[in-house]
């Protein structure tokens, strides 16, 4: 992926290396959802974490106790940070154009680079859980050590695999701007756990599709993907499917406990977005198969 000459985003805040106060509100919003992911990453039985998880029903909750932190602004020099900033810049260009075509104004998210833990408007973010989006402050958070984990633990190497991860989190920002996230939260609050998890899956699959929409338009504009890049992105979507994550951690797949979608589902919807480049193809709530 030829990203080196891309424009860096002006919306990146670098907190890496900073000693920041942790939130006192427990795991908080993200934290509860992230507990499940962390259990997968470190081989803990996901069912333990699932006892605390209600899909994304708490995703809009306010969490007190997180103290504000201000990291460095401006261009980033190291390769991982620069890459992430360039990908975010590309998502800004693509979504600006898509929103403009629909006679709407796109407000891009911020992206915070951090190490270990960091306070957010959604509670304390933790590196162990991977990248996440906080709707309360409209910010994507990522500890870049996740890229190494993606390559080594999940067998998903390559720049485009990493770009997919960033674009997926920006996909959640699109859902937040369009009101989809709030609607799903409302439905989840009225639903039993199994249905709540299913709604979470459809939300995550739509974010995958939106990531594919970004990939379609960024490639059309820049032609920056090399041979094998698309396969690397699809492989990343497959490797972090719920079924493969559960199989790795405990050897047993529990479909009713899925919150992000199976490998087949995630690959299908990311591929759909890449193929069509059309938001209308990303209605994962109406088209419930796969």
**pLDDT tens track for 113-134:** 999 999 999 999 999 878 999 9
Write down the pTM of the prediction: 0.85
3-state helix, strand, coil in the chain (%, to 5): 55, 10, 40
Average pLDDT estimate for 179-185: 97
Q: Considering the chain, what percentage of its residues have pLDDT values greater than 70? A: 83
Residue 12's closest CA among 68, 74, 93, 67? 74
Calpha distance 30→123 (Å, rounded): 7
CB-CB contact of 154 with 238 (8 Å)? no
pLDDT greater than 50 at residue 30? no
**Does the pLDDT at position 22 exceed 70?**
no
Mean pLDDT, residues 5-10 taken together? 96
The alpha carbon dihedral of 47, 28, 195, 137 has a sign of negative
What is the spatial distance between Cα 219 and Cα 240, in angstroms, rounded to a whole number?
A: 23
pLDDT of 249 reads 86
* Long-range contacts, stretch 74-79, CB < 8 angstroms, 24+ apart: 75/8, 76/8, 76/12, 76/14, 76/113
List, for residues 49-84, the tens digit of each pLDDT value: 333 332 232 344 444 445 567 899 999 999 999 999
Say if CB 123 and CB 48 are below 8 A apart. Answer: no
Secondary structure letter of residue 138 according to DSSP:
T
pLDDT of residue 39: 46
């Amino acid at each position: 992926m030829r990203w080196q000459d891309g424009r860096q985003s002006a919306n990146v805040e670098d907190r890496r290396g900073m000693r920041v106060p942790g939130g006192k509100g427990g795991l908080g919003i993200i934290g509860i959802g992230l507990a499940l992911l962390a259990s997968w990453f470190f081989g803990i039985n996901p069912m333990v974490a699932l006892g605390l998880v209600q899909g994304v029903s708490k995703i809009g909750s306010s969490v007190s106790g997180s103290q504000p932190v201000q990291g460095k602004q401006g261009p980033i020099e190291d390769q991982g940070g620069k890459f992430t900033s360039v990908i975010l810049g590309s998502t800004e260009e693509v979504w600006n154009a898509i929103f403009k075509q629909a006679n709407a104004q796109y407000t891009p998210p911020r992206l915070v680079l951090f190490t270990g833990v960091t306070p957010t408007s959604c509670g304390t973010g933790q590196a162990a859980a991977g990248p996440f989006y906080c709707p309360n402050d409209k910010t994507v958070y990522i500890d870049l050590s996740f890229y190494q984990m993606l390559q080594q633990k999940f067998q998903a190497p390559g720049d485009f695999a990493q770009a997919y991860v960033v674009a997926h989190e920006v996909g959640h920002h699109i859902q937040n701007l369009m009101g989809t996230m709030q609607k799903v939260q409302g439905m989840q609050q009225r639903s039993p756990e199994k249905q709540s998890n299913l709604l979470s899956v459809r939300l995550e699959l739509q974010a995958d599709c939106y990531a594919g929409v970004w990939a379609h338009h960024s490639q059309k504009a820049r032609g920056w993907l090399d041979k094998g890049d698309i396969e690397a992105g699809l492989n990343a979507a497959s490797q972090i499917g719920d079924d493969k994550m559960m199989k790795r951690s405990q050897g047993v797949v529990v479909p009713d406990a899925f919150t992000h979608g199976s490998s087949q589902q995630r690959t299908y919807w990311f591929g759909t977005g890449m193929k069509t480049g059309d938001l209308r193809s990303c209605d994962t709530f109406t088209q419930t198969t796969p």
